[in-house]
Structure 1
Amino acid sequence: MKLVLLACLAAVAVAAPQGDERPVVEIIKDERSDSGDGNFNYAFEADNGISMSVSGTPGAEGQSNMQGVYSFILPDGTIAEIRFIANENGFQPESPLLPTPHPLPAHAIEQIRFAEEQRAAGITFE
């Protein structure tokens, strides 16, 4: 029994990860500026293709309004780029890679048009 337990412990010790095997990513660009009045800019780029550039200004409601772009390399080798605005209306990304809602079917559009006509004519349902 002791031999089996010793063999199991030895197998676990051999199978344990040895050292830190995470890939090392170097930052090849790191630029930052802060004017002290709420306006700022920063940009960075890593050697693995990840990059980001952002500029910000103070918002009317105390928030930071930002706009920028970030990009990274997809598994097929193409570059994904997402442009965004973040302000009092939230985070608003734009990219052809982002999913979009399916268009409404023709019968649904007709029902919406018909309901709008009824509302305009003063017809209501309770």
Structure 2
Amino acid sequence: MKLVLLALLVCVAAARPDYGPASSEEHGSETLRNEFDIADNGAYTADMETSNGIVMSQSGSPTGPEDAILATGYFSWTAPDGTPVSVKYVADENGYQPDSDILPVAPEFPHPIPQFVLDQIEKARKEDLDRSSEEYRVPTSYRAP
């Protein structure tokens, strides 16, 4: 019985995931800093930095509706083409709201609508009018002589 328990413990230890620092041979970087603090009230801070320039920082607390976590944070890295990338964000009752120069920006509204789109809208409006007028026509078989 002791031998079976010992074998079971060895199997469990061997199957344990390794959450240690990543080796530079496997992933190309090492974790330089990885800090996570959580308070008794659920508030937390998390900071991480790797040797290849990835930086992440986040803090949050259960101050949202029904104690939902509201968080703010920042992450950055260098893109393969050498472009520095940084994103600041807020995650709250309005969802995830990133802010970065790398994110596309929608055109200001109202923006000009191309003529072919206006023509298609007008055509659809006329078809709807024709269709609705046909629905309310009294068939000739029901008309009085």
1:63 and 2:64 equivalent?
no
Normalised TM-score (structure 2): 0.55
8 Å contact from structure 2 (residues 53, 77) kept in 1: yes
Candidates 90, 93, 98, aligned match of 1:93? 98
1:12-23 matched pairs, under 5 angstroms: 22-23=26-27
Structure 1 residue 22 displacement after superposition:
4.4
Distance 1:105 1:61, change over 3 A: farther
Task: With the length of structure 1 as denominator, give the TM-score of the two structures.
Answer: 0.62
User: SS where residue 85 of structure 1 aligns?
Assistant: strand
Does residue 51 of structure 1 match 2:58?
no
Task: Name structure 2 gaps, 5 residues minimum.
Answer: 1-24, 115-145
Larger C-alpha radius of gyration, 1 or 2? 2
Contact 1:61 1:88 (8 Å CA) reproduced: no
Change beyond 3 A, Cα 1:37–1:75: same
What is the number of residues matched between the two proteins?
A: 89
1:58-104 CA deviation, whole Å, 9 max, x = no partner?
Answer: 12333110001001111222310000000111000000110111231
State the identity as a percent.
36
Structure with greater contact order relative to length (CA < 8 Å, sep ≥ 6): 1
Unaligned residue ranges in structure 1 (runs of 5+): 1-20, 108-126
Which 4+ stretches in 1 moved above 2 angstroms? 21-25
